């Protein structure tokens, strides 16, 4: 099939037209507009995600406070007296949280190192 010289030549001889010289400029203008739109969309998505996560954290905090702490609202206009049932029962949670923080920090270090090696520059710059 690739030896069909007649078809190849006929296609070559078909009226050739090219793009106007300012095509690239006009197309880039549209691309910049699209990039702006994308940026705005990402911003609103981030804002939405942050709101959802924040609300979730607040709800979780309220639930935990209600479940593990007791408030005394009996006396009006007085600061609530906070009673921690047991500090020891949270030690495991503190250990896990510390471990996560260490792992996140190590991930950041290795990721930066990997990106530097792969792209020859710091992608965060």
Partner 1 sequence: MRRYMDNQDEFHIIQRICEGETNLFSLFLSRYSDAVYSLIVRIASSKEDAEELTQDVFIKAFKKLNTFQGKSSFLTWLYRIAYNTAISATRKTRQDFSYIDETMIDKVPDENVDMLFEKDENENLLNKLQVVLKRLSAEEKMLIALYYSKGEKIHDIAGIMDLSSDNVKIKLYRVRKKLYFLIKKND
CB of 7 to partner 1, least distance (A): 5
> Between residues 11 and 88, which has the closer beta carbon with respect to partner 1?
11
> Between residues 42 and 70, which has the closer beta carbon with respect to partner 1?
42
> Between residues 32 and 95, which has the closer beta carbon with respect to partner 1?
32
Q: Which of 49, 69, 114, 123 binds partner 1 (CB under 8 A)?
A: 123
Q: Which of residues 8-37 bind partner 1 (CB under 8 A)?
A: 8-14, 16-20, 23-24, 26-28, 30-32, 34-35
| Residues 85 and 68: beta-carbon distance below 8 Å | yes
CB of 76 to partner 1, least distance (A): 55
| Residues 89 and 78: beta-carbon distance below 8 Å | no
Is 117 one of the binding residues for partner 1 (CB under 8 A)?
A: no
d(CA 1, CA 7): 10
Q: Which of residues 51-110 bind partner 1 (CB under 8 A)?
A: none
Q: Rule CB under 8 A: which residues touch partner 1?
A: 1, 3-14, 16-20, 23-24, 26-28, 30-32, 34-35, 38, 119, 123
């Amino acid at each position: 099939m690739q030896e069909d010289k007649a078809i190849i030549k006929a296609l070559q001889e078909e009226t050739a037209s090219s793009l106007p010289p300012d095509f690239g400029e006009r197309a880039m203008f549209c691309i910049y507009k699209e990039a702006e739109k994308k940026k705005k969309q990402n911003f609103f998505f981030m804002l939405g995600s942050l709101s959802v996560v924040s609300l979730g954290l607040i709800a979780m905090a309220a639930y935990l406070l209600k479940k593990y702490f007791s408030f005394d609202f009996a006396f009006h206009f007085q600061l609530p007296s906070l009673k921690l049932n047991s500090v020891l029962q949270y030690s495991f949670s503190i250990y896990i949280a510390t471990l996560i923080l260490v792992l996140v920090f190590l991930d950041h270090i290795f990721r930066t190192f990997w990106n530097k090696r792969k792209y020859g520059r710091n992608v965060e710059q």
